[in-house]
Structure 1
């Protein structure tokens, strides 16, 4: 009874496995080399195409945020509510105009009274 198990000592069995391993490693290396060659040859063209595409694409419009805000506003409020709000703003504007006009008129009236008192 041998102490060590018999190994396949046939020269063809071991060399076939080694040559298969070497062939698979060689194929992997050749594939990697081809991939790197493709990368080196085609990457400048890909980069140039990406730059051209980026140059062709227009930047977003400046008023895009305003349009989105306006669209969301109109979605939230109905046309009647918007008309009522505009009417209130117009009335408020008219009242502010009257207030400023009255202030100017009173200031002018005070100025005239002071002028008459001095003379």
Structure 2
């Protein structure tokens, strides 16, 4: 996901964060389903390019930060450290979008497992 993540309708920061995460997950899962060979090549390249991976992660976390800041301002989130919260959420949800976990994505309960993690994030 690159660029700015925008919604057409107005929603809470919590809803926007949930949609952002679900969109990231859907994009990653679609990539493996649509072209598994290309996805395998991508993961091989990723393993060899730590700087590119770190830049990509920084970009994704950077997209979460404004959502968290809005949630803090609206008192949806308790923490006041948007950067730490955004990083933590990204790491906590890695199982659902990180290529290293691709085999786990086929689990019939993967969506329910994400919702369990999401509930923990909200608490």
Instruction: Give TM class, smaller chain.
Output: under 0.3
Q: TM-score, normalised by structure 2?
A: 0.25
Q: TM-score, normalised by structure 1?
A: 0.26
The structure with more helix, counted as a fraction of residues:
1
- Structure number with greater Rg is 1
